[in-house]
Amino acid sequence: MSFLIILILSFACGFFLPWWVAAIVAFLAAFFISKTSLQAFCSGFAALFVVWAVLALLKSLPNENILAGRVVQLFPLPNNWIWLLMVTALVGGLVGGMAALSGMLLKKAFK
């Protein structure tokens, strides 16, 4: 349940608001909905991994991945834009997982 809430709200906010709003969404969803710390981290990680991968694809595909191809040359990655997409999604997943875990731990602290 928290996975879907984080996924939908983060995806909707990803078009109009800054990137860090997704962390607030994951934090609040885990604070109010999640039952365990592992479930909170996994749902936050998975939801934001998917959201950031989809948003990166939606931004990259219309320009035929030209910018992503040039950016990937700056990093020690194989020269393929898909690697940059995976690193972006991984960073987003870690942000979401840590934010959701923080929300769950704050909830436990108040009990």
Chain segment 31-60, per-residue pLDDT in tens: 999 999 999 999 999 999 999 999 999 988
Ordered per-residue pLDDT tens for the chain, 111 residues: 899 999 999 999 988 999 999 999 999 999 999 999 999 999 999 999 999 999 999 988 888 888 888 888 888 878 888 888 999 999 999 999 999 999 999 999 998
| Nearest-angstrom CA–CA distance, 39 and 12 | 23
Q: Where are the domains of the chain?
A: 2-110
Q: For residue 61, how many other CB atoms are within 10 A of its CB?
A: 10
Q: For residue 68, how many other CB atoms are within 10 A of its CB?
A: 21
Average pLDDT, the chain: 92
Smallest CA-to-CA distance from 104 within 7, 52, 24, 39 is with 39
Asked if 30 and 48 count as a contact pair (C-beta separation under 8 A), the reply is no
pLDDT of residue 4: 95
